[in-house]
Amino acid sequence: MIYPVIDGAESFFIKGNSVGLLLSHGFLGTPQSVKDLGEQFAELGYTVYAPRLKGHGTHYKDVEKATHEEWLSDLEKGYKRLKRHCSVIYVVGQSMGGTLAILLANKQQGIDGLILINAALFVPSYESLRNQITPRYIEESKPDIKKQGVVEITYSKVPLRSIHQLQRLMNKITVEELRNVKIPLLSFKSLEDHVVPPENTDYIMQHVSSLKKRSISLSDSFHVASMDNDKNKIIRKTHAYIQENLQGTEISV
């Protein structure tokens, strides 16, 4: 059966100047979770693209068939699309999107910087399921968002197979992979995150080789910070960081 894309979960592309931002949503999420970021970055002049990763934004039976290799491939295709329009590219990843961003930076030398938002290396709530073969589907808790009234498009159930794909993906982030990251890196971590503990970000920052790296704490957001109370702080700090790194770079419209 072919499931349609949920209204609002579509990929989006907004043409701006020659600085491109590739936005990646997280596990079970959709481009909707980074839509506000993308639109505000576009207002600041950036070219923005947020691809919908394989199996996301339709039905949980679709994501059950997807692999972590396909998720990385989808993000890499997004990078190549942006590269046709932009001379400078930063990858912005929320949760699993941050995991993918690190791996993509190891594959593509043309990436100029990373912006990670609660990047995932370890998800405690899934650990007990690591070697399980049942049940096939697990009830998923509501999105971890502090701000009242925010609705994230996601699935009510998560396939066990998909959890195992996420775990295999996170296992790929070795110390060597992190040491290979030498480009500018800005990381955001929610101090109260019920999905991905802030220690994930601390570990990343301790092991990357980036000379220009900075970590910013978010005190008023839970895990899905791209939709939470600190959303504008993320936009403001990201814009300032990129502009700081762009000093002396010619930007075309």
Burial class (CB in 10 A: 0-12, 13-18, 19+), 84: exposed
187 belongs to the catalytic site? no
Active-site residue, selected from the candidate residues 62, 112, 144, 193:
193
- Which residue among the candidates 25, 56, 68, 223 is catalytic per the annotation? 223
- 193 included as an active-site residue: yes
Of 11, 24, 33, 95, catalytic = 95
CA distances from 124 to 54, 159, 209 (A): 24, 17, 26
DSSP 206-253: HH---SSEEEEEESS--S-GGGSTTHHHHHHHHHHHHHHHHTT-----
How many CB atoms neighbour CB 137 within 10 A? 17
Question: Do the beta carbons of residue 216 and residue 232 sit within 8 Å?
Answer: no
Our answer to whether residue 223 is catalytic in this structure is yes
Residues 6+ apart with CB under 8 A from 82: 20, 22, 47, 49, 89
State the catalytic residues.
95, 193, 223
